[in-house]
Structure 1
Amino acid sequence: LVCLINGISPKDGRLFLAGIGPSGGGFGAKMTEDGMSATVCLNDGDTHNHPVEQMEAKYPMLFERHALREDSGGAGRYRGGLGTEQVVQARAPININVQVDRVHCAPWGLAGGHSGAGNQVCLRSGGQEITDLPNAKVLMKRLNPGDAITLRAGGGGGFGPPEERDPEKVAHDVRQGYVSRDIAAEI
């Protein structure tokens, strides 16, 4: 999940180009433990996310949210790792491009584990939420000040039947905000 942003900086009137991502997704659960959350992708050259404070200071954007994505890890005896959710608001007119896969083909679970959540991209423009983006790809979309883009990285698949998960681990996941009460009660 990669988002490229460009525009004219209100600070100096020069063209800027900024990249958000690759956003950390969750790894699938193992046979003996939960998957890792918000991981760095080694096949992307061991890239790391920039601190949001650095991005906000350098570019006309405001990170409304940068957090683990609740309910994104697949349920199982061992839970899939969580992806991330970023909501980035434009503070000046900007153009965005988003490239992402695995929107409709969510990371599957194994041995009775549930699939993790797929990647998702949403836009908030003119007060309206736009969620029906074809394959979550966005090409040269203009955002005006106050508009925002939401980038949701997928979670990993779970391992083993969810009903075999230790109840203490479920309670811990709910307390930490990894899993919502509603989803925990369903499973």
Structure 2
Amino acid sequence: AVEAITYSACFYVFRCLLAEDVPATAGLMRPIKMVAPEGTVVNARTPAAVAGGNVETSQRIVDVLLRALAQAVPARIPAAASGTMNNLTIGGIDPRTKGPFAYYETVAGGMGARPTKTGVSGVHTHMTNSLNTPAEAVEYAYPLRVRQYSLRPDSGGEGRHRGGDGIVREIEVLADAEVTLLAERRTHAPYGLSGGGDGVRGNASVIRENGSSQEMPGKFNTRLRRGERIRMETPGGGGWGK
């Protein structure tokens, strides 16, 4: 991430800890010293790749800061949310128009449980700042068919307050297409707090013409033939309390 993204993520975290009537101005950061050494993942310099900085690194910065602050104010800090924007891109030639198409969306996950409430299921949390893409809108505008769009049962972490569940989203391509996924939380699960359990990690798979399913990493690029599918199961949020 470039330094501005790191600054924004820090600003967001500390703004969340203040009363709602406190304005979001530059004054909020005056008592805070941000140390982001040049050439690191939180202050990248040319020619470093930063495509995932705004959408993925920012999420991890938020998770790290919240977990650290939980040691000081545990009654104010939620468990980790899904922690990834699950960036999906699909592109190819639309057989209806004979022209190129490009589709991009971020897929929601589970919110981390809060000290007094369960986490919300199937929502964008923290740095995502984007809305649900309805299946009808996808199918109308692109040569795609949404085969499944549902909550992912029991993917939220256990605890006094459960983490929110992630989402299952399966999309069939109706034309040969190139698919790219940029996602996190495949190795380390969203953490629980105060004794709460971790959320379930995310995963993705490609379902081929012959019905075989191929598990994919969190970051990949592949070609799909017409009728093949990409399936995403997004992480659940961590639980809070025993």
Q: Distance in 1 between matches of 2:238 and 2:127?
A: 20
Which amino acid is 1:155 matched to? G
1:39 aligns with 2:120: no
Which residue of the partner structure matches residue 160 of structure 1? 241
Which residue of the partner structure matches residue 142 of structure 1? 223
Which residue of the partner structure matches residue 7 of structure 1? 92
Deviation at 1:8, TM superposition (A): 0.2
Q: Is the 8 A contact 2:208 2:229 kept in 1?
A: yes
Paired residues for 1:96-111 under 5 Å: 96-111=179-194
TM-score normalised per structure 2: 0.62
Give % identity. Answer: 33
Q: Which has the higher strand share?
A: 1
Q: Deviations over 1:84-113 (max 9, x none)?
A: 110101111111000001111110112221
TM-score normalised per structure 1: 0.79
Name structure 2 gaps, 5 residues minimum. 1-85
Determine which of 48, 55, 76 is the counterpart of 2:138. Answer: 55
Determine which of 9, 21, 25 is the counterpart of 2:109. Answer: 25
Q: Deviations over 1:94-146 (max 9, x none)?
A: 11000001111110112221110112111111311111x23x2111x111122
Aligned-partner SS, 2:137: helix
Which amino acid is 2:87 matched to? V
Deviation at 1:83, TM superposition (A): 1.1
Higher RCO structure, 1 or 2 (CA under 8 Å, sep 6+): 1
Number of corresponding residues: 156
Q: Distance in 1 between matches of 2:134 and 2:194?
A: 37
1:76 aligns with 2:155: no
Q: Distance in 2 between matches of 1:40 and 1:112?
A: 24
Q: Deviations over 1:70-93 (max 9, x none)?
A: 111001111001111101011111
RMSD, aligned CA: 1.3
Q: Is the 8 A contact 1:41 1:47 kept in 2?
A: no
Larger radius of gyration: 2
Which amino acid is 1:32 matched to? T
Q: Is the 8 A contact 2:198 2:237 kept in 1?
A: yes
Name structure 1 gaps, 5 residues minimum. 162-187
